[in-house]
Structures are given as C-alpha cells and as structure tokens.
Amino acid sequence: MTETSPMQKTNLLGFDKKTLQDYFVRIGEKPYRADQVLKWIHFNGMQDFADMTNLSKALRQKLSDMADITTPQVIYEKAAADGTYKWLLRLNDGNCIETVFIPEKTRGTLCISSQVGCILNCDFCSTGKQGFNRNLNTAEIISQLWIAVRKLSKMNGLHDHTITNVVMMGMGEPLLNLDNVIPALHIMLDDFAYGLSKRRVTVSTAGVIPAMQQLRAATDVALAVSLHAPNDELRNKIVPLNKKYPLKELMTACRDYFKNDTRRSITMEYVMLAGVNDAPKHAKELIKILEGIKVKVNLIPFNPFPHTEYQRSDASTIHHFCDILMKAGLNTTVRRTRGDDIDAACGQLVGQVKDRTRRHERYLQSTKKKVVGENA
Ligand code: SAH
C-alpha cells in the first residue's frame, strides 16, 4: 500500500495512524511522531515538513529527503445556485475524479469518490456508464477531504462551509476497494486528523456482502445500502450486482450488521424511477423485505443524465410511496436534489475515466442505435 510520488518519495498523506507509526519505527524514530505528523498534515493542512516546528530540525530534514505530502491537482471548481460545490481532481495518471460539497442548515456533507469510474454498471447511474479504470489509493481518497477543507475555509457567503459529514457516495463502489477505503476512514475519524464522528461518516454500497462483514470488523461507521428494488427480478435488472448477491442474502447481511448495537440502523437508498419501481405494490414489497431490520429509508428522486431512458417519478408518486412506508412504521425521508445545475447530484458524477472496460463506448453506440431506430 506504499504510495510513492514520481520522485520515489513516500507520500504520507494516505497513512493512517497505525501505518504512520510503523513508518516512523521503520526509519528509526519514535512511534508517537505519528500523532504530531498526522495533525500537521490533516488538521493544519501542511505540506512542507520544514514547517512542522515540534519535530527536530534533523527529523524535518530526514522527512523532506524521504517523503512528501502530495494531493491530486484541482482542475476546476463549480458552484451551484444552491451553494453546492463540485471539484474535478486530476490524478497522477491523468484520470479525473469528482468530489461534491453539499451545505445544509445544520450540516455540511462532503461526497467522496472511491474509484475511477465504477465496475458495477447500475442501469440508472451515470458513473457506471463511464466504465472503470482503477481503485483510488488511500492518499487519493483522503485528498478529497484535505482539499475540500482547505478550499471551503477560504470561502465566505451565505452558507456555513464546515464539513460535518462525509458520505462515500461519489464515483465507485467503496466496498470493492476496502484496502484503501478503511485507512481513509481511520483518518477521517482520528482526532488528530479530522475527528469526524463515526455516525457522520457513511459508506454506501450496492451490496457487496462479504465486504460488508469486513468493513464492520475493521471500523464502525454508518452504512447505507443502495437497494432500489424490492424483488430480485427488478433488482437484477437495475443493480446487476444483485445476480451475485441476491436480496434475501443481502437482507440477512443487513439484519446482522448492527446486531450488537440495537441503537444503530442502516440507511436504505431507493432511487425513484418513473414506472419502474415506484408503484404502491413496490412499496408494499419493500415493507415485507425490510421486516425485522432496523432501517431508515431514503427515497432519491432520479437525477437524469445524457441518453438515459429513465425518468424521475413525479412528486405526488414519491409522496404516496413515502406515505405507504411511513404508515407501516418505516422511518422514511425524501432526499432533496442538490447541485443538479452543475451535474453534482447523486449518480451524475462522471470525472474523466480512461475506460478500460470499453463500456462507455458500447453505451454510446447502443444509444446511437436506438436513436437511428427511432428515426427509421
Ligand atoms: N456504489 C455505491 C456508492 C455510490 S453511491 C452504491 O451503490 O451505494 C451513489 C448513490 O446515488 C447510490 O445510492 C446510487 O444508487 C444513487 N444514484 C446513482 N445514480 C443515480 C441517479 N441517476 N439519480 C439518483 N440517484 C442515483
């Protein structure tokens, strides 16, 4: 997991406390240096070892020779009318990823990417249609928070720019990149770094069951599951991962997730697709499969993207669906669409993916064929 820059220096940005302690021991230093350096890097935002004044001059020099603290480059920043910000970040290999900040009255949420593109290809998600290139390393994941904190602290305006929450709901499937995601979560929660509360850091998954158990064993953050359909037939179609991990098994994994902590619940995300999964019968099926699991349901109005065949359910349909769930005792909210004027809403993040799957190309071809077919 060592991350080296082109100079072959070790990039310390992606090291959590344990990795940093091991690093200091390896270079003949005391492990407590980890707390100091973690604080300089993440709390103070320092990139130059020379400024780390509680380290000896000799150690500062040694670190400057051996290591660095580097982030991806910010290519652009876009602000939406509602105060949402989106950044496009260029990685060393030329791929680009997107990160979004969403200010609300009582909190500020940063939405972070975990992969360049996504392998899962959910039918209603724009990221999936871009194809996939690779996993992000820990430095690239935590850089998104590092950069956003710095950018936002310089902004004035109507909104509070404090990041209180992080959701791993950007590009990619975090549970297919756990080796890099887990240390990034540790850094988010570490009091010497960002000190975020474990309930305010959420990992979202389409349902990679074995990795859910691994995540639970490694750390204790909040979990969201992208459910989107109440039966296998429909879910196989819109979330293809369901063919590998079908609903019954997924629901068992969810039931077990917070077994030893009855105060915790899982958020079930459910995108509202007109005429596809939004009928009262779907709501009733949903109530059945969620029986006995402590959940909150979050209904997400579909956000459109170019060439998609799906449409957003209308407000009254969403309202009715929500009502049925609430009457059955399910705590249900409807996600407010944010930042859609800059394509920063859920499922609209695309970055610039050097697609290795050729999926993007095939997707464009299939939409072209349809247009030709329609015109013929
Ligand atoms: N792969 C993870 C992380 C991505 S999270 C997961 O599937 O959970 C992104 C969230 O936005 C998921 O719930 C996803 O299903 C939802 N989403 C994707 N495309 C969307 C779209 N076009 N409109 C609304 N929500 C969408």
In ligand 1, which atom is closest to the CA atom of 204?
8
Residue 355's pLDDT is 87
Backbone φ, ψ for residue 178 (5° rounding)? -65, -35
For ligand 1, atom 15, name the residue with the nearest CA.
226
Residues with CB under 6 A from ligand 1: 122, 124-126, 169, 173, 204-206, 226, 269, 271, 300, 302-303, 346-347
Two structure tokens written together for 34: 């980890």
Give 305 Cα–ligand 1 centroid separation in angstroms. 13
Confidence (pLDDT) at 358? 84
Look up residue 194 and give its DSSP letter: T
pLDDT at 356: 85
Using the atom order of ligand 1, give the atom closest to the CA of residue 224. 8
pLDDT exceeds 90 at position 132: yes
Separation of 375 CA from ligand 1 center, angstroms? 32
pLDDT tens column, 189-227: 999 999 999 999 999 999 999 999 999 999 999 999 999
Across the range 164-174, mean pLDDT stands at 97
Q: Measured in angstroms, how far is the CA atom of residue 300 from the centroid of ligand 1? A: 9
pLDDT (0 to 100) of residue 160: 77
**pLDDT tens-digit map of 271-307:** 999 999 999 999 999 999 999 999 999 999 999 998 8
Is 70 exceeded by the pLDDT of residue 51? yes
CA-nearest residue, atom 12 of ligand 1: 226
337: left (phi over 0), alpha (psi -120 to 50) or beta: beta
Q: How confident is the model at residue 260 (pLDDT cuts 50, 70, 90)?
A: confident
Which of ligand 1's atoms lies nearest the C-alpha of 312? 23
Task: Report whether pLDDT(26) > 70.
Answer: yes
Confidence class for position 376, pLDDT limits 50, 70, 90: very low
Residue 5 has pLDDT above 60, yes or no: no
Integer-rounded Cα Rg, in Å, for the chain is: 22
**What gap in Å lies between CA 101 and CA 34, rounded to an integer?**
29
Distances (CA, A) of 348 to 21, 65, 143: 39, 41, 21
Catalytic annotation present for 77? no
Q: What is the pLDDT of residue 155?
A: 84
Mutational test site, ligand 1, from 112, 169, 318, 336, max ligand atoms within 8 Å of CB: 169
346 is catalytic: yes
At residue 2, the pLDDT reads 54
Q: Whose CA is nearest to atom 1 of ligand 1?
A: 173
Looking at per-residue confidence, does 306 or 318 come out higher?
A: 318
pLDDT number for residue 4: 54
pLDDT at 34 over 70: yes
- pTM, two decimal places: 0.94
Structural contact between residues 297 and 334, judged by C-beta atoms closer than 8 angstroms: no
For 327-361, what is each residue's pLDDT tens digit? 999 999 999 888 888 888 887 777 888 888 888 88
- If one counts every other C-beta atom within 10 angstroms of the C-beta of residue 246, the result is 16
Give the per-residue pLDDT at 85: 94
pLDDT at 319: 97
Residue 310 CA, closest ligand 1 atom number: 22
Element (H, E) at 343: none
Please say if the pLDDT value at position 242 is more than 80.
yes
Q: Band the pLDDT of 38: cuts 50, 70, 90.
A: very high
pLDDT above 80: residue 369: no
What's the pLDDT tens digit per position in 76-91? 999 999 889 999 999 9
Q: Which residue, by CA, sits nearest to atom 21 of ligand 1?
A: 347
Determine which one of 122, 125, 322, 346 is catalytic: 346
Domains located in the chain, CATH noted: 10-68 (1.10.150.530), 73-352 (3.20.20.70)
Does 110 have pLDDT greater than 50? yes
